Amino acid sequence: MALLPKQWRNLTPQQRETRDFYLMILPWLIGFVLFTGGPVIYSFIISLTNWTGMNTRDWVGLQNYVELFTVDPLFGTVLANTFIYGTVSVLLGVIAALGIALLMNQKVPGISIFRAIYYLPSVTSGIAIAIMWGWMFNPRSGLVNAVLALFGITGPTWFTSSQWAMPGLILVSLWGIGPNMIILLAGLQGIPQHLYDAARIDGANRWQEFTNVTLPMLSPVLFYVTVISLIGSFQIFENVLVLTNGGPGTATRVLVFDLYQNAFVNSRMGYASAQAWILCVVIMVMTWLMFRISRRMVHYEHGA
Amino acid sequence: MRRLRRAKRLRRMINVLLIYLIAATGAIIFVMPFLWMLSTSLKASNEIFVFPPRWLPSSLHFENYAEALDMLPFGRYLANTLFIVIGNILGNLFSCTLAAYGFARLRAPGKNILFLLMLGTMMLPLWVTLIPQYIMFSSIGWSNGFAPLMVPAWFGWPFFIFLLRQFFMTIPQELEEAARLDGATTLGILWYIFLPLAKPALATVVVLAFIGNWNNFLTPLVYLRDSDLHTISIAINRFRGQYGGTNYNYMMAISVLAVLPVLTIFFFAQRYLIQGIVMTGSKN
Amino acid sequence: MANKRKLHFSRTLQVTLIAIFALLVTGQVFAQDPITLTLALHWEPSFQPTQEAFDQAFMERHPDIRIEVIYNTWGDHNAIVPTWAAAGELPDIVYTHGSRATPWAAGGICANLDSYIEATPEFDVAGIFPVALAQYQYQGSQYALPYDHGVILLGYNKDLFDAAGMAYPDETWTMDDLREAALALSIPGQQWGFGGYYNGISLAGEGGVSFLGPWGGASFNETEDVLLFDTEGSRAGLEFWYSLMAEGAIPNAADVASMGGGQIMYTGMDAMWAMPSWETPAFHDNAGFAWDVAPWPTGPAGRVTGAFGSGFCITTQSENPDAAWLYLSEYLSKEGMEFMWGSTGRGSPARQTAYQSWIDSELAPEHASYYLDALANYTVNGRPFQSVTGPEIMDVINQNQTLLNAGEISIDQFIANVMEQSAPIFAREQ
């Protein structure tokens, strides 16, 4: 910071902090203006047109938004599907990732092999793994129903059943918890051992240790994992495309699938952009709510 | 006394066994897709779709690997992929730590709005920003090359900025205040206090950036028109053809090979991921 | 000393400049700058060498043209081409799937080829099957040209017919024969007399023609602005196929999923199936049993089957449309089609004269000539392909078809649903 002009150096501590903040985020800010902001604004403008994605583009104002909420018979279903997939897969996914991260944090020999195995489905290239899921959830010969059969349960037909296609997609998402597991594992490393020692001296049992030390100390990372998963799962697309194609009927038609269909199959890019902005607002509201709630539940070292 | 110790050891042993049992059960479920992929990669093409499916190929066709590797210049693709991956990792480490520190620790007007704006850029689906972004990069002559896949990383990625911000917020405030009283600059605090303490988080960024870019496929395909610039994940996707004629065995062979570098990196990074002792020491 | 060196330097500079200038001038006069043509397609890696060989030969014939191929993936080509278009970076020639022909012609991606075709009689446009040409016509003009036009015939598993001691399907077969044989060759839950078209019974596109046409039914009218599922013919077709499904002779959605989805045909558990010509290479590779094709059986309303294909167009943003046409006219000539798709067995050529090379190829089945016969006599293009709302209506049909194949709705509900759900889409475009 020594290279800065002189008048920048005689600042109050708060002014200095503000200056430092903007200097620190400057690379991101420049990138935002240069690379991200433009396309984002452009996509919003497009949502106010009837652009086909090709040569026809007329201004239609809010017509796309109006049509989505009043005419489009699918949009309600699509929003509901997205919401169900988004919330349930995040809830189950975060709990599962936390459980596995705790397990993988145990100091027993050979645990690093297990860590790699749990991570394996997440590192496999998207298209190959998506095809794998189709084979895993095969109603008659797939692994999932074979496991269910061990418990005497006749497995459903999964992706060809309106009732089970969505649960199937949610189950598939659980295989992809590798990154969350790693992030949580890194978070667990940051919890000072002396807190556990202190808890033990106070006579806490394992569960109390977990609720009184692990959870609060892990809460910033847990919060991160939840928000990021939510942003991702509300935009699920590839697995839907390969596994169910949005069906049967409209049972797994989620928003980004519908949007892709409009943008590149139905030649309605303007309409698709309007859908994208509604999705953006939905996720934004949910994120904001989570930040509000987190103020009471997430434990930071700093009241920022 | 001895009995007590023996009981303690027994309990510890049961504990370890229990951990193995649970971990192994889950591991079987998680390793299955990979094993199926491995099995498919070794099958003759007329055995892939037989019913009921066979876990073990009736004969092992290791030549699938040689044949698949022979179809495209994978040496070049590996170099291209590594170039993009490493460029992205370095860029992210540089710009994301800076921004993350700002968002985690410094107070400034407009900070919360900027943070929400940053998160907001992750919330628009790629499919509607694809064309605008392509138009933009094309207008500065970047429509065929690595630049659009690498330069933005040097300006930070919200996913990692947010991640590092969360980790930085768990670092005890007292350390920083002490350093500040000693006259340390903001950059000094970041470099000497935060980065060493956040090693597990930085290792996480490295691992996630590696995989994310290693498997990233659509944007590279859009910006790398020249097939000499293609990446491994583009090649894998190219095996999925228009007709039922996808060579699944070749596709899976390349996919199996493509997992290996990622796993290597992961094993290597584990050393930094799992090192809680360093942090607890500094707290006291 | 210093002066001398300066002089020396300036003379060197002079000589060099003159030399460079001379090189530039002679270069302009003697060596024509080669034109670079870019071509975007999505061949999978195993087919790439054929493309490279064609381009090599082309460049030897035309040293002033250089060919650069952009290899997209099949799954993303249709999203990437409009992306290029929006930025003004379209290649000279792009692969155009039959379903994209109208959107890309209407959307200003594909250029009108009429004047080129007219000016090049040796291209022999009349040698291309009219049904294949029709797929790429928009407002009376030709906007793309087909390389392959696939037809649906009746594929059958010779091993299963042999095991049952039954005669193979032939040109005398009617739909009643198909029904009888399908029932005889079915073992509930294990073997299906008729496997359907990819994911079972298909009601739109080329499948719709083959599955409804023999009863006089159809999914769309000629102008593709009215759905015809509620006609008598369509209903008769629907009832024929879904009664076979109910009797266990056609796999339902769950059965198809059990057999590996669209790949059910390769398992060898179907005795017969709807076999498009473009699937023959995949069958050659993946089927572990003997198989062949027969004509699509005759129905009460006659013999008719569906077809669909793919082609190439010259883009409106091409800077060298003349060179692009030169390439396209050789690529899609008799010799070009024979070299690329016929002799390799990769696809059934869209030209009558090139067809024999495909029939003779290693990948084509024994009775591949039935495909030629079908193209010449009883083939209709799958609809929709020429309306702007087509893809959306198709989506509605497919959604309901998955429910029907899963046994979740009845035929009556299916008809009611598609008629009702498509109405607002038709209305919006009027």
CA dist A182 and B266 (Å) reads: 10
Within 13 Å and on the Cβ side, how many CA atoms surround B244?
A: 28
The answer on pLDDT for C24 being more than 60 is no
B contacts of C38 (beta carbons < 8 Å): 225
Establish if B45 touches chain C: CB-CB under 8 angstroms.
yes
**Mean per-residue pLDDT of chain A:** 88
The percent of residues above 90 in pLDDT, for chain C, comes to 78
Radius of gyration of chain B (CA): 24
**pLDDT grade for B277, boundaries at 50, 70 and 90:** very low
Lowest mean pLDDT among C196-205, C235-244, C260-269: C260-269
CA dist A125 and A115 (Å) reads: 18
**pLDDT grade for A9, boundaries at 50, 70 and 90:** low
The answer on pLDDT for B244 being more than 80 is no
Which of A9, A20, A123, A230 is the best substitution to test chain B (most B C-beta atoms within 10 A)? A123
pLDDT value at residue B271: 79
Render pLDDT for A215-265 as a digit per residue (tens, 0 to 9).
Answer: 999 999 999 999 999 999 999 998 898 889 998 999 999 999 999 999 999
The percent of residues above 70 in pLDDT, for chain B, comes to 95
The answer on pLDDT for C162 being more than 80 is yes
The answer on pLDDT for C219 being more than 50 is yes
Nearest-by-CA chain C residue for B143: C89
**pLDDT grade for B80, boundaries at 50, 70 and 90:** very high
CA dist B49 and B36 (Å) reads: 13
The answer on pLDDT for A65 being more than 50 is yes
Render pLDDT for B15-47 as a digit per residue (tens, 0 to 9).
Answer: 889 989 999 988 988 888 888 889 989 998 888
B contacts of A31 (beta carbons < 8 Å): 95, 152, 154-156
Radius of gyration of chain A (CA): 24
Closest CA to B190 of B274, B93, B278: B93
First to last CA, chain A: 23
Domains defined for chain C, CATH in brackets: 35-149+308-380 (3.40.190.10), 152-306+384-429 (3.40.190.10)
Q: State whether residue C142 is helix, strand or coil.
A: strand
**pLDDT grade for A129, boundaries at 50, 70 and 90:** confident
In angstroms, the separation between the Cα of residue C418 and the nearest Cα of chain A is 11
Render pLDDT for C273-297 as a digit per residue (tens, 0 to 9).
Answer: 999 999 998 888 888 899 999 999 9
* A95-99, A187-191, C383-387 — most confident range: A95-99
pLDDT value at residue A144: 85
φ, ψ for residue C194, nearest 5 deg = -135, 120
pLDDT value at residue B32: 84
Ramachandran region, residue B61 (left: φ > 0; alpha: ψ -120 to 50; beta: rest): beta
**pLDDT grade for C2, boundaries at 50, 70 and 90:** very low
Contact between B224 and B76 under an 8 Å Cβ cutoff? The reply is no
Type of residue numbered B106: L
The answer on pLDDT for B106 being more than 50 is yes
Instruction: Give residue for tokens 């199937």.
Output: A168
- Least CB-CB distance to B47: which of C259, C279, C288? C288
Q: Does ipTM top 0.85?
A: yes
In angstroms, the separation between the Cα of residue B92 and the nearest Cα of chain A is 10
Render pLDDT for A260-285 as a digit per residue (tens, 0 to 9).
Answer: 999 999 999 999 999 999 999 999 99
CA dist A7 and A4 (Å) reads: 8
Contact between A32 and B99 under an 8 Å Cβ cutoff? The reply is no
Q: What is the DSSP string of C149-188?
A: EEEEEEEEEHHHHHHHT-PPP-TT-BHHHHHHHHHHT-BT
Ramachandran region, residue B50 (left: φ > 0; alpha: ψ -120 to 50; beta: rest): beta
Q: Is the previous residue joined to A248 through a cis bond, with omega within 30 degrees of 0?
A: yes
pLDDT value at residue A135: 77
Contact between B135 and C87 under an 8 Å Cβ cutoff? The reply is yes
φ, ψ for residue C110, nearest 5 deg = -95, 140
In angstroms, the separation between the Cα of residue A165 and the nearest Cα of chain B is 19
Greater pLDDT, A145 or C1: A145
C403 vs A248: CB contact, 8 Å cut-off?
Answer: yes
Question: Would you tell me how many other CB atoms lie within 10 Å of the CB of residue C272?
Answer: 28
The answer on pLDDT for C243 being more than 80 is yes
Which of A120, A196, A221, A264 is the best substitution to test chain B (most B C-beta atoms within 10 A)? A120
Mean pLDDT of A153-158: 88
Provide the chain C residues 75-94 that lie in CB contact (below 8 A) with chain B.
75-76, 79-80, 82-84, 86-89
Q: pTM for the complete prediction?
A: 0.91
Type of residue numbered C364: A
In angstroms, the separation between the Cα of residue B87 and the nearest Cα of chain C is 24
A contacts of B131 (beta carbons < 8 Å): 53, 269
The answer on pLDDT for C302 being more than 80 is yes
Residues 6+ apart with CB under 8 A from C336: C54, C330
Lowest mean pLDDT among B236-245, C124-133, C374-383: B236-245
φ, ψ for residue C33, nearest 5 deg = -60, 130
Strand C35-41, strand C93-97: pairing: parallel
Greater pLDDT, A7 or B70: B70
Mean pLDDT of B199-215: 91
The answer on pLDDT for C189 being more than 90 is no
pLDDT value at residue B30: 87
pLDDT value at residue A50: 92
Contact between C101 and C136 under an 8 Å Cβ cutoff? The reply is yes
pLDDT value at residue C27: 47
CA dist B240 and B242 (Å) reads: 7
The answer on pLDDT for B181 being more than 90 is no
Burial of C82 (C-beta count, 10 Å sphere; 0-12/13-18/19+): buried
pLDDT value at residue A303: 42
Residues pairing with C155 in the sheet: C273, C293
Nearest-by-CA chain A residue for B37: A132
Establish if C74 touches chain B: CB-CB under 8 angstroms.
yes
The answer on pLDDT for C8 being more than 90 is no
Contact between B136 and A36 under an 8 Å Cβ cutoff? The reply is no
Closest CA to C147 of C295, C12, C43: C43
Within 13 Å and on the Cβ side, how many CA atoms surround A164?
A: 16
pLDDT value at residue B243: 65
CA dist B84 and C79 (Å) reads: 23
The token duo for A46 is: 């497009």
B contacts of A18 (beta carbons < 8 Å): 106-109
Domains defined for chain A, CATH in brackets: 11-63 (no CATH), 65-297 (1.10.3720.10)
Greater pLDDT, A300 or C117: C117
pLDDT value at residue C23: 52
Render pLDDT for C141-159 as a digit per residue (tens, 0 to 9).
Answer: 999 999 999 999 999 999 9
Greater pLDDT, C324 or A194: C324
pLDDT value at residue C146: 97
Strand C379-381, strand C305-314: pairing: parallel
Greater pLDDT, C391 or C24: C391
The token duo for A262 is: 């409009």
Mean pLDDT of C47-73: 95
Establish if B227 touches chain C: CB-CB under 8 angstroms.
yes
Contact between C123 and C415 under an 8 Å Cβ cutoff? The reply is no
**pLDDT grade for B280, boundaries at 50, 70 and 90:** very low
Q: What is the DSSP string of B202-254?
A: HHHHHHHHHHHHHH--HHHHHH--SGGG--HHHHHHHTS-SSTT--HHHHHHH
To the nearest 10 degrees (0 to 180), the angle between helices A269-297 and A75-104 is 40
- Least CB-CB distance to C76: which of B49, B221, B247? B221
A contacts of C253 (beta carbons < 8 Å): 157, 160, 248
pLDDT value at residue B268: 83
pLDDT value at residue C399: 94
**pLDDT grade for C140, boundaries at 50, 70 and 90:** very high
Mean pLDDT of C83-110: 95
Establish if B132 touches chain A: CB-CB under 8 angstroms.
yes
